[in-house]
Amino acid sequence: MSTPEYFYEMEHNPKDPNPFLAIFLDRSIPFDESAKAAFLKDSSTKSRQFLLPLLRPFARLSIIVIKLIRTILPNAFASSKLLHKLLHWGLKTFVSPEANYMILRHFILGSEILRFIRDNVPGVDVKLNPLTPYNLEAVKDDLFLIHDLNIYNFIINLNKEMKEKGIEIQHQKKLNMDGITLEPHPIEPLPKRWSNKIDLLTAIEFFTPIYQLFLTDNDFWRASNSLQLDEIVGIYASTIVNEPQRLALVNNKHPMVPLITLQAGYRLVLHGLATEQLHAMLVQKKRELLGLPKL
């Protein structure tokens, strides 16, 4: 898995500057350094440059075809267990270690963010279902589906309880940061065979039609629409820390106006980046509270 040294040791040619080096060195957007290195190195691969443009039209055509099938047979082929076994096999066999690292990390960070929000709304006691996948075997346990359900259930249960108790989300001068981890997450070594070459965005574009095929029409629509909940989660967190400018980093917005599913793969990547940036901001907040230097 890539480390920041990959970029720190990269030579800079002023006549041909590396765009990924420029983005890595920039510190205007909060992002865990190791995760940023992994994501940018993965984005600079031949798979991302050449395979993705060829694959994307076919993947999106497949989404249209499957949608037509779903119009007649909304639940045909649906099997979450089979879906997640296929996802596990595909990730283990073809996807790069950097991409797999970002995928597993995403579920962990998402769980920590939901806990942070819950812990900083005094008076509520919303039950959580945290996901901590430290290896690809965890994918088999309906990992992707449960992640989507967790977000919806959290928003529903939180708002029901706040309404019943007359509570609102407000800026907290004394933050509870117990749920935010500063140390690297203990993700196990990931497959690095000759076949593990597919980058994150290409993998997501490829797997999105498969995800659609093996979920019911209702499950896929719900999963696709969950990406626009980024705005809601961002508002919750930015209100608590009193930093509304952080919402500028959220690209999946307007959950009341669901988007069509053709760009679900691209929006999923934006969802992952928003999660990374929000978590990095919370990590920095915790470091400030503990008197630790800025990363």
Q: Which residues contact 61 (CB under 8 A, 6 or more apart)?
A: none
DSSP label of 92: H
What does the DSSP assignment read for 44-82? TSHIIIIIHHHHHHHHHHHHHHHHHHHHH-TTTT--HHH
Distance CA 272, CA 109 (A): 10
Mean of the per-residue pLDDT values of the chain: 94
Confidence of residue 152 (pLDDT cuts 50, 70, 90): very high
Question: Token pair of 277, please?
Answer: 């940036």
pTM of the shown model = 0.95
- For the segment 152-166, the average pLDDT, to the nearest whole number, is 97
pLDDT at 54 over 80: yes
Report pLDDT digits (tens) over 183-212. 999 999 999 999 999 999 999 999 999 999
Report pLDDT digits (tens) over 242-265. 998 888 788 888 999 988 888 888
- For the segment 69-77, the average pLDDT, to the nearest whole number, is 89
pLDDT at 2 over 80: no
Confidence of residue 159 (pLDDT cuts 50, 70, 90): very high
SS3 126: coil
pLDDT score for 100: 98
pLDDT score for 245: 84
Distance CA 287, CA 133 (A): 25
Largest distance between two CA atoms of the chain: 62
pLDDT score for 263: 87
Distance CA 215, CA 142 (A): 11
pLDDT at 58 over 60: yes
pLDDT at 42 over 80: yes
pLDDT at 170 over 90: yes
Report pLDDT digits (tens) over 95-140. 999 999 999 999 999 999 999 999 999 999 999 999 999 999 999 9
- For the segment 143-161, the average pLDDT, to the nearest whole number, is 97
- For the segment 218-234, the average pLDDT, to the nearest whole number, is 93
pLDDT at 165 over 90: yes
Distance CA 70, CA 94 (A): 28
Report pLDDT digits (tens) over 271-293. 999 999 999 999 999 999 999 98
pLDDT score for 187: 96
- Sign of CA pseudo-dihedral 10, 13, 14, 19: negative
